[in-house]
Structure 1
Amino acid sequence: MWQAAIEDAMKKTKRNGEKHGLQFPHIRRQAEGKCYEWGPSTDWIEGFYTGMMWLSYEYSGDTAFRDMAQAQVKDYRRRLDEDVALDHHDIGFLYSPSALAAWMIEGDETAKQLALDAADKLMMRWRPEGEYIQAWGPKGDEKNGGRIIIDCLMNIPLLYWASEQMGDQRYREVAVKHADKSRRYLVRGDDSSYHTFYFEPSTGIPIGGGTHQGYHDGSTWTRGQAWGIYGFALSYRYTGDKQYLETSRRLARYFVERFPEDDVVYWDFNVEVNADTLRDSSASAIAACGMLELLEHLAEDDEDRAYFQDAVERSMRSLVTNYSTMGEPDAEGLIDHGSYHIRGDLGPDDYMIWGDYYYMEALMRLEKGVPGYWYERKEAKTGVK
């Protein structure tokens, strides 16, 4: 099953690259039909598309994927140099699956420098007064100046990596402090999570939790919970701090315990479920990757190993069987019924490029043991493994 799904995903990824060149997929507001809106790199999501090119190259050895990925990486340099729409924390989402991947796979020194420069850009969002990375907007922003969001746990691995590469502990210290702040304030006592949390910007005094894309301020947005599962597992990989591993485990149990009948989650765990309630297939794909990362760190005799392995396989089988576009050869996306921002009527039920990426990453992990691009692999850089 996994191999057939990967082959289908690569065909669609290659066709999109050949058809759209250096245009990138963007999420549309609700419209007729299912497709991406293609345009220049101006959002937080483009890195996932480039990451799909690199995954396809690693799996197939087809140099067409490498050539498309390399051309895109050059565009990320342009974007960083021109500071195009980078006033946010999602630098890791942009530059890890693109530039860092190019360094890991090809040993591309230019790409390595680009990833390091991107880490410097992310460091500019560190707010020492409150000891957190500000999610959105400039320093002093009236609405967002004291705001963190759970998604950032997937951006700070770029800082851990930069610290290792440069031997500079500042990057690691920022990542750890932000992870600690997230663990304390974004994770609730019942192992659910806030999407966002606010602090008084000048002092760092906590104000309270909230949401941006969830059902309500006290609800648990499923994609946010998935970011937490994966992000804390990655912080454990980099630091060895068992608190992060246990937090990832707790978030994962909460997620799995709330699987619906077909093992692919709705867009929020607290939304009223009826025939019209929308799913978020992308949340399930992210959570599958997060649990696969978590499994790498659990002892062989850990009682949770079988539990999480079964959950991943159930969820991924459902994504392939019930949500993938394998029976739609002309589809641009890999999995349907993802959601972006339902209350904002932005991509409420469509393809999500991050959903496509994490779906492919999970398949690659399951089929070949090849992870994504959130930490540097230790083997020599000699091209395709």
Structure 2
Amino acid sequence: MNRAVVKCLVVSFLCLIFGCPMFATSPARKQVVPMHDVVRNSLDFAVRQSLLMVKSLESKPGVLPRTISAEGKLETAKPSAWISGFFPGELWYLYEYTKDAELKKYADEFTQRVRSQMYTTDNHDVGFMIFCSFGNGYRLTRNPDYKAVIDTAARSLSTRFNPAVGAIRSWNFSYPGRNWQYAVIIDNMMNLELLMWASKTFKNEKLRDIVISHADKTLKYHFRPDYSSFHVVSYDPKTGLPEFRHTAQGYSDASSWARGQAWGLYGYTMMYRETKKPEYLEQAKHIARFILSNPHLPADKIPYWDFDAPDITNAYRDASAGAIVCSALIELSRYVEAPLSKSYLKVAETQLRSLSSPSYRANAGENGNFILRHSVGNKPANSEVDVPLSYADYYFVEALMRYKKTVLHE
């Protein structure tokens, strides 16, 4: 008998007796954890971490969690900080998940810490502050007091609109050497949801007109031909025309700051939901294409802090940008044709798995009691680099809840 045939028969016999390695389950071929379990496990972990955070701040009124120091200690923020509404909003999402009375109590307590910001008129972030906190609170409880706070906040934000420019002013200041007269940043798209909600709830068409004007102006001047966006556009307040297109938190004026792209995607997805204007849906799809087809988007779908950062493979990741994109894609999947919807959800699932893994999710009781690690606040200013951030946690929890409802139908 041919020696090769004999050898094959011997190997086959040994496989029958001892089990053949080529058919054995190897570490590289582990069973994939179902998305239901990924979502449930991360939400359960978020509840545990958030309650630890609450306990650490319960006796410290008037502060909200922000990040951690270089030594790993919790850093807090005053209610006037733009990030103040995120932790209360996170607690409301977790109350929605658990229906736990204790979480509801804490969600209200930390929401009330932000109450004074309904009168904010010196920046655009009142939308983040109030709608993430009181907005989610009202959605779940229908507390009329929350509704009144949102009404006041919307009126405050609307004072920053200049009809000559057609947009809501973001900042009253300029970075050194920039000379911005009327700075509008892409982040401002996120604050439009507060105004749209107030417009519908209180039958205020003026607010809707402001929102549409701002969204249209941003669509016209904030985006490049490839649908990446600038961070800052400064307008001439007399002519309403753009003077400068710059960045503040990205690598360069010509680069694509990752969180800025995420704000744009989320903002125009929300605008389509609220208006059903087809141009907003097309813009969201264009932005999604830029992000998802970008050659610098890593395999785990969590972006580097800037898509054009130097030495890109060694650049910091931004979990906050990944969480925002993930949440936006889950919603956007509801408004597009089936093949595109499926592709968006596939990426979102990858992002949820990545953020739920030890590569990004903290260990229990560590990381200042934040959920996620590895976010980037403002790299050029060397501020909050490769640290946990409250808004990364907020949008991660929101994405988990959206996936739970939209895909798992729970």
Which of 298, 303, 323 is the matching residue for 1:265? Answer: 303
Aligned to 1:221: 257
Which of 51, 71, 77 is the matching residue for 1:32? Answer: 71
Which of 245, 254, 268 is the matching residue for 2:281? Answer: 245
Contact 1:20–1:38 (CA under 8 A) maintained in structure 2: no
Q: Distance in 1 between matches of 2:314 and 2:232?
A: 26
Q: Distance in 2 between matches of 1:316 and 1:36?
A: 25
The correspondence of residues 305-324 of structure 1 with structure 2, limited to 5 A, is 305-324=341-360
Q: Distance in 2 between matches of 1:178 and 1:192?
A: 18
Q: Distance in 2 between matches of 1:251 and 1:187?
A: 9
Query: Higher relative CO (CA 8 A, sep ≥ 6), structure 1 or 2?
Result: 1
Q: Distance in 1 between matches of 2:358 and 2:229?
A: 28
Query: Structure 1 residue 50 and structure 2 residue 88: aligned?
Result: yes
TM-score (norm 2): 0.84
Question: Gapped runs of 5+ residues in structure 2?
Answer: 1-37
In structure 2, the CA distance between the partners of 1:336 and 1:147, relative to structure 1 (3 Å rule), is same
The correspondence of residues 1-385 of structure 1 with structure 2, limited to 5 A, is 1-21=38-58, 22=61, 23-27=63-67, 31-33=70-72, 35-80=73-118, 83=120, 87-137=122-172, 143-258=179-294, 259-274=297-312, 276-299=314-337, 301=338, 303-331=339-367, 332-369=369-406
Contact 1:134–1:144 (CA under 8 A) maintained in structure 2: no
Amino acid at match of 1:32: E
The structural deviation recorded for 1:327 is 3.2
Q: Distance in 2 between matches of 1:98 and 1:144?
A: 31
Q: Distance in 1 between matches of 2:122 and 2:359?
A: 34
- SS, match of residue 340 in structure 1: strand
Question: Gapped runs of 5+ residues in structure 1?
Answer: 371-384
Contact 1:199–1:208 (CA under 8 A) maintained in structure 2: yes
Report how many aligned residue pairs link the two structures: 362
The structural deviation recorded for 1:42 is 2.4
Amino acid at match of 2:371: L
TM-score (norm 1): 0.89
Q: Distance in 2 between matches of 1:10 and 1:87?
A: 34
Alpha-carbon displacement from aligned partner over 1:260-307 (angstroms, at most 9, x marks no partner): 1332110001112356411111001000011111112123x3x31121
Q: Distance in 2 between matches of 1:51 and 1:114?
A: 15
Alpha-carbon displacement from aligned partner over 1:202-232 (angstroms, at most 9, x marks no partner): 2212213110100000110000000111100
Whose radius of gyration is greater, 1 or 2? Answer: 2
- SS, match of residue 220 in structure 2: helix
Q: Percent identity?
A: 30
Alpha-carbon displacement from aligned partner over 1:148-185 (angstroms, at most 9, x marks no partner): 11111110011111111111110000000000011111
Q: Distance in 2 between matches of 1:95 and 1:42?
A: 11
The structural deviation recorded for 1:144 is 4.2
